Amino acid sequence: MTDPEKKKKSSKMVNITINLPEIYDENIKKLIGMRIVASRSEAIRTALRDFLHNEYNNLKLLGFFEEDS
């Protein structure tokens, strides 16, 4: 598989640095140990995805998005 073909099949990821309270990291490590998530990155992606989904739904309920008629 050539490089352009690889790019089409995977979504683009960006690398960011964040600072977390130690307790968050400890709990993420527990989740990894329990095999609930595979890695810190996966835990944070899942949490962020859930947060964004909930916020979108909250804004929708509050009428921030117009319904198409």
- For 9-48, give one letter per residue: b (16+ CB within 10 A) or e: eeeeeeeeeeeeeeeeeeebeebeeeeebeeeeebbeeee
Cα angle 51, 55, 62; round to 5: 165
Q: Domain limits of the chain?
A: 21-60
Centroid of chain to Cα 32:
16
Band (68; pLDDT cuts 50, 70, 90): low
The whole-number pLDDT of residue 65 equals 80
Alpha-carbon gap, residue 52 to 19, rounded angstroms: 19
Summarize pLDDT for 28-66 with one digit per residue, the tens.
999 999 999 999 999 999 999 999 999 998 888 888 887
Which tops the pLDDT comparison, 59 or 4?
59
Contact 51, 59 (CB under 8 A): no
